[in-house]
Structure 1
Amino acid sequence: MAIALENVGIAVRDIDAAIAFFTDLGLSLVGRDTVSGEWADTAVGLDGNHARIAVLQTPDGNGQLELFEYIHPEAIETEPTLPHEIGMHRVAFSVDDLDAALEIAARHGCHPLRGVATYEDIYRLTYLRGPSGILVMLAQDLRTP
Protein backbone atom coordinates (compact mmCIF):
# COMPACT_ATOMS: atom_id res chain seq x y z
CA MET A 1 0.00 0.00 0.00
CA ALA A 2 1.37 3.40 -0.96
CA ILE A 3 0.94 6.29 1.44
CA ALA A 4 1.84 9.98 1.26
CA LEU A 5 1.27 12.88 3.62
CA GLU A 6 -1.43 15.10 2.10
CA ASN A 7 -1.39 18.07 4.49
CA VAL A 8 -1.54 19.18 8.09
CA GLY A 9 -4.88 20.72 9.08
CA ILE A 10 -5.05 23.50 11.64
CA ALA A 11 -8.18 25.15 13.03
CA VAL A 12 -7.69 28.90 13.40
CA ARG A 13 -9.69 31.71 14.91
CA ASP A 14 -8.92 34.18 12.06
CA ILE A 15 -8.12 32.61 8.70
CA ASP A 16 -6.99 35.88 7.12
CA ALA A 17 -4.46 36.53 9.91
CA ALA A 18 -3.16 32.95 9.64
CA ILE A 19 -2.83 33.20 5.85
CA ALA A 20 -0.93 36.49 6.21
CA PHE A 21 1.46 34.94 8.75
CA PHE A 22 2.26 31.82 6.74
CA THR A 23 2.50 33.59 3.35
CA ASP A 24 4.84 36.18 4.87
CA LEU A 25 7.03 33.28 6.01
CA GLY A 26 7.17 32.08 2.40
CA LEU A 27 4.30 29.66 1.85
CA SER A 28 2.04 30.23 -1.17
CA LEU A 29 -1.73 30.31 -1.06
CA VAL A 30 -2.96 27.49 -3.32
CA GLY A 31 -6.65 28.19 -2.85
CA ARG A 32 -9.52 29.16 -0.60
CA ASP A 33 -13.04 27.81 -0.34
CA THR A 34 -16.00 27.38 1.96
CA VAL A 35 -17.06 23.82 2.69
CA SER A 36 -20.34 22.48 4.02
CA GLY A 37 -22.96 19.87 3.29
CA GLU A 38 -23.57 16.21 3.94
CA TRP A 39 -20.21 15.14 2.51
CA ALA A 40 -18.38 17.53 4.88
CA ASP A 41 -20.46 16.34 7.86
CA THR A 42 -19.64 12.71 7.01
CA ALA A 43 -15.93 13.25 6.32
CA VAL A 44 -15.29 15.30 9.45
CA GLY A 45 -17.83 13.58 11.70
CA LEU A 46 -19.49 16.84 12.72
CA ASP A 47 -23.13 17.73 12.05
CA GLY A 48 -23.61 21.10 10.37
CA ASN A 49 -19.92 21.35 9.48
CA HIS A 50 -19.39 24.69 7.73
CA ALA A 51 -15.93 26.22 7.47
CA ARG A 52 -13.74 28.59 5.50
CA ILE A 53 -10.61 26.78 4.34
CA ALA A 54 -7.31 27.73 2.77
CA VAL A 55 -4.52 25.52 1.46
CA LEU A 56 -0.94 26.79 1.56
CA GLN A 57 2.09 25.19 -0.10
CA THR A 58 5.75 25.26 0.95
CA PRO A 59 8.13 26.67 -1.68
CA ASP A 60 9.75 23.26 -2.24
CA GLY A 61 6.35 21.77 -3.13
CA ASN A 62 6.63 19.00 -0.51
CA GLY A 63 4.37 20.29 2.24
CA GLN A 64 0.91 21.76 2.60
CA LEU A 65 -1.10 23.31 5.40
CA GLU A 66 -4.87 23.34 5.36
CA LEU A 67 -6.21 26.09 7.57
CA PHE A 68 -9.86 26.13 8.55
CA GLU A 69 -12.02 28.66 10.36
CA TYR A 70 -15.35 27.32 11.57
CA ILE A 71 -18.54 29.17 10.69
CA HIS A 72 -20.69 26.41 12.23
CA PRO A 73 -20.60 24.99 14.76
CA GLU A 74 -19.03 27.79 16.74
CA ALA A 75 -15.33 27.20 17.31
CA ILE A 76 -14.32 26.15 20.80
CA GLU A 77 -11.40 28.02 22.33
CA THR A 78 -8.82 25.83 24.04
CA GLU A 79 -5.65 26.55 25.92
CA PRO A 80 -2.60 26.61 23.64
CA THR A 81 -0.74 23.29 23.53
CA LEU A 82 2.36 23.16 25.69
CA PRO A 83 5.51 21.54 24.29
CA HIS A 84 5.23 18.53 26.65
CA GLU A 85 1.51 17.76 26.19
CA ILE A 86 0.22 14.68 24.38
CA GLY A 87 -1.58 15.28 21.09
CA MET A 88 -1.11 17.36 17.97
CA HIS A 89 2.00 19.28 18.74
CA ARG A 90 3.50 21.71 16.25
CA VAL A 91 4.23 22.51 12.67
CA ALA A 92 7.94 22.82 11.83
CA PHE A 93 9.67 24.66 9.00
CA SER A 94 13.25 24.80 7.78
CA VAL A 95 14.31 28.33 6.92
CA ASP A 96 17.49 29.58 5.32
CA ASP A 97 17.62 32.70 7.55
CA LEU A 98 16.19 32.27 11.04
CA ASP A 99 16.70 35.93 11.97
CA ALA A 100 14.74 37.08 8.92
CA ALA A 101 11.96 34.58 9.70
CA LEU A 102 11.79 35.85 13.28
CA GLU A 103 11.52 39.44 12.05
CA ILE A 104 8.56 38.40 9.88
CA ALA A 105 6.95 36.54 12.79
CA ALA A 106 7.44 39.56 15.07
CA ARG A 107 5.49 41.75 12.62
CA HIS A 108 2.57 39.41 13.36
CA GLY A 109 3.08 39.67 17.12
CA CYS A 110 4.69 36.21 17.29
CA HIS A 111 7.88 35.76 19.32
CA PRO A 112 10.00 32.81 20.56
CA LEU A 113 8.70 31.08 23.67
CA ARG A 114 12.08 31.43 25.36
CA GLY A 115 14.76 32.31 22.81
CA VAL A 116 16.82 30.83 20.01
CA ALA A 117 18.85 27.68 20.71
CA THR A 118 21.81 26.20 18.87
CA TYR A 119 22.00 22.43 18.66
CA GLU A 120 25.60 21.16 18.30
CA ASP A 121 26.49 23.82 15.71
CA ILE A 122 24.09 22.02 13.37
CA TYR A 123 20.81 23.91 13.83
CA ARG A 124 19.59 27.21 15.22
CA LEU A 125 15.98 26.71 16.21
CA THR A 126 13.11 28.07 18.23
CA TYR A 127 9.45 27.51 19.02
CA LEU A 128 7.02 30.40 18.81
CA ARG A 129 3.29 30.94 19.08
CA GLY A 130 1.79 31.65 15.69
CA PRO A 131 -1.74 32.81 14.97
CA SER A 132 -4.44 31.23 17.14
CA GLY A 133 -1.71 29.99 19.50
CA ILE A 134 -0.30 27.47 17.00
CA LEU A 135 3.12 26.16 18.03
CA VAL A 136 5.52 26.80 15.15
CA MET A 137 9.11 25.56 15.08
CA LEU A 138 11.57 27.39 12.86
CA ALA A 139 15.00 25.83 12.25
CA GLN A 140 18.02 26.95 10.24
CA ASP A 141 20.58 24.33 9.18
CA LEU A 142 23.99 25.83 9.96
CA ARG A 143 25.78 23.27 7.75
CA THR A 144 24.52 24.84 4.53
CA PRO A 145 25.99 28.12 3.27
Structure 2
Amino acid sequence: MRPDKTTATAVTATAVICTAVLLNAAPAAAETHTEMPTLYTLATEAGGLCAGTINAKINTFADSDQVSVGYQANFGGVGGCATTVVFTWHNVDTGTSGAVTNQVVSWSYSASFRPGPGRIAIEMATTTPHFPQQARVEVYL
Protein backbone atom coordinates (compact mmCIF):
# COMPACT_ATOMS: atom_id res chain seq x y z
CA MET A 1 0.00 0.00 0.00
CA ARG A 2 1.46 3.33 -1.06
CA PRO A 3 0.91 6.42 1.13
CA ASP A 4 -1.14 9.08 -0.55
CA LYS A 5 0.19 12.54 -1.27
CA THR A 6 -1.45 14.07 1.86
CA THR A 7 0.20 11.57 4.22
CA ALA A 8 3.63 12.07 2.63
CA THR A 9 3.28 15.86 2.93
CA ALA A 10 2.27 15.61 6.59
CA VAL A 11 5.23 13.35 7.40
CA THR A 12 7.63 15.70 5.60
CA ALA A 13 6.19 18.76 7.39
CA THR A 14 6.51 17.01 10.76
CA ALA A 15 10.13 16.09 10.04
CA VAL A 16 10.95 19.69 9.04
CA ILE A 17 9.34 21.10 12.21
CA CYS A 18 11.13 18.57 14.49
CA THR A 19 14.48 19.31 12.84
CA ALA A 20 13.97 23.07 13.22
CA VAL A 21 13.08 22.70 16.89
CA LEU A 22 16.13 20.54 17.59
CA LEU A 23 18.51 22.84 15.71
CA ASN A 24 17.18 25.99 17.39
CA ALA A 25 17.07 24.57 20.89
CA ALA A 26 19.37 26.48 23.22
CA PRO A 27 22.19 24.39 24.64
CA ALA A 28 22.06 23.80 28.37
CA ALA A 29 24.15 26.33 30.32
CA ALA A 30 27.10 24.78 32.11
CA GLU A 31 26.65 25.24 35.82
CA THR A 32 29.45 24.80 38.35
CA HIS A 33 29.08 24.31 42.10
CA THR A 34 32.16 24.79 44.29
CA GLU A 35 32.00 23.91 47.99
CA MET A 36 33.80 26.21 50.41
CA PRO A 37 35.51 24.77 53.51
CA THR A 38 33.24 24.79 56.58
CA LEU A 39 33.78 27.82 58.79
CA TYR A 40 33.52 27.16 62.54
CA THR A 41 32.53 30.33 64.34
CA LEU A 42 31.49 31.86 67.62
CA ALA A 43 28.33 33.91 67.66
CA THR A 44 26.71 36.21 70.16
CA GLU A 45 23.42 35.87 71.96
CA ALA A 46 21.75 37.72 74.80
CA GLY A 47 23.35 35.40 77.38
CA GLY A 48 26.88 35.44 75.94
CA LEU A 49 28.52 33.31 73.28
CA CYS A 50 27.50 30.24 71.30
CA ALA A 51 29.23 28.26 68.56
CA GLY A 52 28.19 27.13 65.10
CA THR A 53 29.14 26.51 61.50
CA ILE A 54 28.73 28.29 58.18
CA ASN A 55 28.63 26.10 55.05
CA ALA A 56 28.66 27.70 51.61
CA LYS A 57 28.53 26.69 47.96
CA ILE A 58 29.63 28.98 45.11
CA ASN A 59 27.52 28.68 41.94
CA THR A 60 28.61 29.94 38.52
CA PHE A 61 27.06 29.64 35.07
CA ALA A 62 28.91 29.55 31.74
CA ASP A 63 26.68 32.21 30.18
CA SER A 64 26.65 34.67 33.10
CA ASP A 65 29.03 37.09 34.79
CA GLN A 66 27.25 36.62 38.12
CA VAL A 67 28.49 34.56 41.05
CA SER A 68 25.82 33.21 43.39
CA VAL A 69 26.53 31.99 46.93
CA GLY A 70 24.18 29.71 48.81
CA TYR A 71 25.07 29.34 52.47
CA GLN A 72 23.68 28.05 55.72
CA ALA A 73 24.36 29.10 59.30
CA ASN A 74 23.78 26.48 61.98
CA PHE A 75 24.08 27.23 65.67
CA GLY A 76 22.75 23.89 66.95
CA GLY A 77 19.18 25.04 67.31
CA VAL A 78 20.09 27.71 69.85
CA GLY A 79 17.77 30.65 69.32
CA GLY A 80 19.18 34.15 69.38
CA CYS A 81 22.71 33.27 68.20
CA ALA A 82 23.89 35.65 65.50
CA THR A 83 27.01 36.72 63.66
CA THR A 84 27.89 38.63 60.51
CA VAL A 85 29.15 36.65 57.51
CA VAL A 86 31.46 38.47 55.10
CA PHE A 87 32.20 37.24 51.56
CA THR A 88 35.05 39.18 49.96
CA TRP A 89 35.91 38.67 46.32
CA HIS A 90 38.80 39.70 44.12
CA ASN A 91 39.02 39.34 40.35
CA VAL A 92 42.66 38.26 40.01
CA ASP A 93 42.72 39.12 36.29
CA THR A 94 41.18 42.62 36.41
CA GLY A 95 41.95 43.72 39.97
CA THR A 96 38.35 44.56 40.85
CA SER A 97 37.11 43.55 44.29
CA GLY A 98 34.16 43.84 46.61
CA ALA A 99 32.39 42.39 49.62
CA VAL A 100 28.94 41.15 50.59
CA THR A 101 27.94 41.06 54.27
CA ASN A 102 24.90 39.68 56.04
CA GLN A 103 23.82 39.34 59.68
CA VAL A 104 22.84 35.68 60.12
CA VAL A 105 21.07 33.38 62.55
CA SER A 106 20.46 29.63 62.03
CA TRP A 107 18.97 29.72 58.53
CA SER A 108 19.74 29.42 54.80
CA TYR A 109 20.86 32.48 52.83
CA SER A 110 22.00 33.55 49.40
CA ALA A 111 24.06 36.39 48.00
CA SER A 112 25.31 37.32 44.55
CA PHE A 113 27.79 39.67 42.92
CA ARG A 114 29.16 40.47 39.46
CA PRO A 115 32.97 40.38 39.50
CA GLY A 116 33.38 40.28 35.70
CA PRO A 117 35.06 37.54 33.70
CA GLY A 118 38.30 35.97 34.89
CA ARG A 119 39.72 34.15 37.89
CA ILE A 120 37.77 35.06 41.04
CA ALA A 121 39.15 34.49 44.55
CA ILE A 122 36.36 34.31 47.15
CA GLU A 123 36.86 34.29 50.91
CA MET A 124 34.29 33.72 53.65
CA ALA A 125 34.80 34.96 57.21
CA THR A 126 32.73 36.19 60.16
CA THR A 127 33.08 39.27 62.33
CA THR A 128 33.33 37.00 65.38
CA PRO A 129 36.24 34.61 66.10
CA HIS A 130 36.27 31.70 63.63
CA PHE A 131 38.38 28.82 62.33
CA PRO A 132 39.97 28.46 59.85
CA GLN A 133 41.16 32.06 59.54
CA GLN A 134 39.20 32.19 56.29
CA ALA A 135 37.50 29.77 53.94
CA ARG A 136 38.82 30.44 50.41
CA VAL A 137 38.10 29.14 46.90
CA GLU A 138 38.80 30.25 43.33
CA VAL A 139 36.32 30.05 40.47
CA TYR A 140 36.55 31.02 36.81
CA LEU A 141 34.02 33.01 34.84
Shorter-chain TM range is under 0.3
More helix by share: 1
Over alpha carbons, which structure has the higher Rg?
2
More strand by share: 2
Give TM-score scaled by structure 2 length: 0.25
TM-score of the superposition, structure 1-length normalised?
0.24
